Amino acid sequence: MNSEAWPDGRAHELVIQGVTQSGERFRPSDWAERLCGMMSVFGEDRHLSYSPYLKPVMADGLSCVVVDGRLRTMDAAAFEFLLGFARDNELRVRPGRHPQAATPMEGERRVADPQSG
């Protein structure tokens, strides 16, 4: 898997799913929060919060990480790291929402940021 994960170039997000290519759930169960925590930032309020380009979510009963497509141009190394993580762990990756989609994907709920105030 590489940067061509958006074959039509229109998806706004990439979703790394917490399930392997063979269908097994990825462990540990908090992998998505840990991965997003790697790109956490301190805000002006001095609280740690997730990057606006990386969010842990639950979708269809699976822990997932939603990667904002803008990260691809903002920080290519971070984007490639995330794709490498998915590839190395044989995780499924799918396109996310398109730019015009303002509501969460069906079956998706955003995980609260436990690091913010």
- Whether residue 11 is contained in a domain is answered as no
Question: Which of 2-16, 30-44, 87-101 has the highest average model confidence (pLDDT)?
Answer: 30-44
Cβ partners under 8 Å of residue 45, min gap 6: 117
Supply the range of the domain harboring residue 72.
16-96
Q: Rounded CA gap, 111 and 77, in Å?
A: 25
8 Å CB contact between 4 and 55: no
pTM of the prediction? 0.73
- Whether residue 106 is contained in a domain is answered as no
**What residue spans of the chain are helical by DSSP H?**
31-37, 71-74, 76-88
- Whether residue 114 is contained in a domain is answered as no
Domain total for the chain? 1
- Whether residue 64 is contained in a domain is answered as yes
Please report which confidence band the pLDDT of residue 4 belongs to, taking 50, 70 and 90 as the band edges.
Answer: very low
Per-residue pLDDT at 37 exceeds 70: yes
Per-residue pLDDT at 9 exceeds 60: no
- Whether residue 32 is contained in a domain is answered as yes
Average pLDDT in the chain? 81
- Whether residue 82 is contained in a domain is answered as yes
Residue 45 is part of a domain; what is its CATH number?
A: 3.30.70.2340
Q: In the predicted model, what is the mean pLDDT of residues 48-74?
A: 91
- Whether residue 103 is contained in a domain is answered as no
Question: Which of 43-47, 64-68, 99-103, 106-110 has the highest average model confidence (pLDDT)?
Answer: 64-68
- Whether residue 1 is contained in a domain is answered as no
Distance from chain centroid for Cα 82: 8
